[in-house]
């Protein structure tokens, strides 16, 4: 298996520390109507995982290990985007569609949503 293409899972320098959610002040993990996000969202990490999934899904790689890694990265990107409902939903749907039918994610649409989050920050 090619180990060089998928970076080790590390937090980026800007990633909000999970411990801050337990301190005073505005929480980074904001409870929602139906659920509480499981971790602070980070657009850098979200992009990193989308990029890894993109590489795995577009460079003619094959095999089950590749599929699992791509799904894993899409899931991580989903997890890192809980603060932005549109982006979160788009990644969630892309992962589900890929798992169900092998459909390629709409990378342009996802990229546009990432761009919206970036310009809003
Ligand atoms: Zn991060």
Predicted local distance difference test score (pLDDT) of residue 1: 47
Would residue 10 count as lying in a domain? Answer: no
Would residue 2 count as lying in a domain? Answer: no
Predicted local distance difference test score (pLDDT) of residue 21: 44
* Long-range CB contacts (within 8 A, 24+) of 115-121: 116/86, 116/87, 117/43, 117/81, 117/84, 117/87, 118/43, 121/43
Predicted local distance difference test score (pLDDT) of residue 23: 47
Between the CA of 51 and the centroid of ligand 1 the distance, in Å, is 14
Low pLDDT (below 50) residues in the chain:
1-3, 6-7, 19-23
Predicted local distance difference test score (pLDDT) of residue 36: 65
Please list all protein residues whose beta carbon sits less than 5 angstroms from ligand 1, which is an ion. 12, 15, 42, 44-45
Between the CA of 15 and the centroid of ligand 1 the distance, in Å, is 3
pLDDT tens digits along 25-60: 555 555 555 556 777 899 999 999 999 999 999 886
Predicted local distance difference test score (pLDDT) of residue 49: 97
Query: What's the domain range around 105?
Result: 41-120
Would residue 110 count as lying in a domain? Answer: yes
Would residue 103 count as lying in a domain? Answer: yes
Q: What is the pTM of this model?
A: 0.73
How many structural domains are present in the chain?
A: 1
Would residue 47 count as lying in a domain? Answer: yes
Would residue 88 count as lying in a domain? Answer: yes
Predicted local distance difference test score (pLDDT) of residue 40: 86
Predicted local distance difference test score (pLDDT) of residue 31: 54
Would residue 60 count as lying in a domain? Answer: yes
Would residue 27 count as lying in a domain? Answer: no
Cβ neighbors of 70 (< 8 A, separation 6 or more) are 53, 56, 57, 98
Between the CA of 112 and the centroid of ligand 1 the distance, in Å, is 19
């Amino acid at each position: 298996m090619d180990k060089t293409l998928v970076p080790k899972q590390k937090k980026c320098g800007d990633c909000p520390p999970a411990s801050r959610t337990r301190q005073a002040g505005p929480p980074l993990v904001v409870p929602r109507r139906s659920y509480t996000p499981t971790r602070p969202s980070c657009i850098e990490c979200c992009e990193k995982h989308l990029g890894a999934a993109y590489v795995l899904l577009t460079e003619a790689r094959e095999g089950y290990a590749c599929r699992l890694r791509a799904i894993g990265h899409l899931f991580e990107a989903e997890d890192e985007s809980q603060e932005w409902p549109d982006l979160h939903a788009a990644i969630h749907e892309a992962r589900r569609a890929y798992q169900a039918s092998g459909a390629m994610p709409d990378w342009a649409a996802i990229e546009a949503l990432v761009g919206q989050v970036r310009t809003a920050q």
